[in-house]
Structure 1
């Protein structure tokens, strides 16, 4: 398959514990970096890279694909929650002492871009008990090749919540951009939206970050680019198919 001109050479670096010399570390492909302040890329740790290697492998079966994807999703949710505001909160411990801590401010909800985004709902529920989940269905119009909104079901009070938008793959960014427009039409401020994503193309991530500079993006990896069919490369194939059917 021929490569699209936007595809770039992937960065590599020696990976492993800091106490090991470089000569004793394997070299691995790591994420592209982006200069946009509203984009957070998970550190390319040995754990994350090994998980990504498993789900990228075409020979990984569905059960293992789900297991390792869920681990990455959990890392993304945990990092996403770090970007929510907190307020001071003092508690008394069982030994009668006080501890000056913090607690989350405000209510949150998840919104998955169907169907692949639904794969990330369980990871959010594991971190946020009884969290409300909304749905948005956006598909490409075969005649215009542009994204089209087919369905949305969101909490009635979503304008008063912090929204974690869920979609594992960010290629051109068309679906994610339309999803943010839907949320904004419901009264959700841009700066209350966090987009959680497993793998992004540089083009999609930059397009999204510049279109909505107040929306925070948390991604596990920024890949090389897009091919002529707008597939992320090296990518991992169709995430929804591999998670739900293959």
Structure 2
């Protein structure tokens, strides 16, 4: 299933505009990347299934919702994706984290993997690959293809 969703929310557009400015500091860029990732994650997780659970409040027992058995894994493409992962982990602190390291071969201009580490149960998880850098899409395609080659099927790319 291939689906591209372009998020044109005013807050996302505003923050991306600040990130792109020449005079944006590294510290500000990192904070903005984290904030944009949270906003994108909010939309990307919209359809996660929920289940009812019983809880006890200080006053009464009641029923509430929780994410239904979905195991999530955030996989930043190193290093730029790390700031996005931080933002997403603010929303989903129990998600596991993996990493894919890529660099571009200057002769072939193709991505080359130099690091790959995912949780041992990654095949059972919904994977969110994150990278704020999307020029040709080469790194994103390479990372997703590497995941698929290792038997992972539930992949969402956030950029």
TM-score range, shorter chain: 0.7 to 0.9
Q: Find out whether 1:131 has 2:95 as its counterpart.
A: yes
* Alpha-carbon distance in 2 for matches of 1:92, 1:146: 52
* Alpha-carbon distance in 2 for matches of 1:174, 1:37: 17
Q: Secondary structure at the match of 1:39?
A: coil
Aligned to 1:64: 28
CA apart distance, 1:119: 1.7
Q: 1:130 to 1:90 in 2, by over 3 A?
A: closer
Q: Find out whether 1:193 has 2:148 as its counterpart.
A: no
Unaligned runs of 5+ in 2: none
* Alpha-carbon distance in 1 for matches of 2:31, 2:152: 33
The CA deviation string for residues 96-131 of structure 1, in whole angstroms up to 9 with x for no partner, is 364464523321111111111112121122111232
The CA deviation string for residues 77-109 of structure 1, in whole angstroms up to 9 with x for no partner, is 22222243x143143463436446452332111
Match of 1:142 among 106, 109, 133: 106
Q: 1:82 to 1:127 in 2, by over 3 A?
A: same
Q: 1:149 to 1:37 in 2, by over 3 A?
A: closer
Aligned to 1:108: 72
The CA deviation string for residues 11-31 of structure 1, in whole angstroms up to 9 with x for no partner, is xxxxxxxxxxxxxxxxxxxxx
Unaligned runs of 5+ in 1: 1-35, 198-246
Runs of 4+ in 1 over 6 A off after TM superposition: none
- Normalising to structure 2: TM-score of the pair? 0.86
The CA deviation string for residues 202-238 of structure 1, in whole angstroms up to 9 with x for no partner, is xxxxxxxxxxxxxxxxxxxxxxxxxxxxxxxxxxxxx
Task: Report the aligned-residue RMSD.
Answer: 2.2
Q: 1:145 to 1:80 in 2, by over 3 A?
A: same
- Normalising to structure 1: TM-score of the pair? 0.58
CA apart distance, 1:154: 1.2
Aligned to 1:202: none
* Alpha-carbon distance in 2 for matches of 1:140, 1:37: 25
Match of 2:130 among 166, 183, 202: 166
Aligned to 1:155: 119
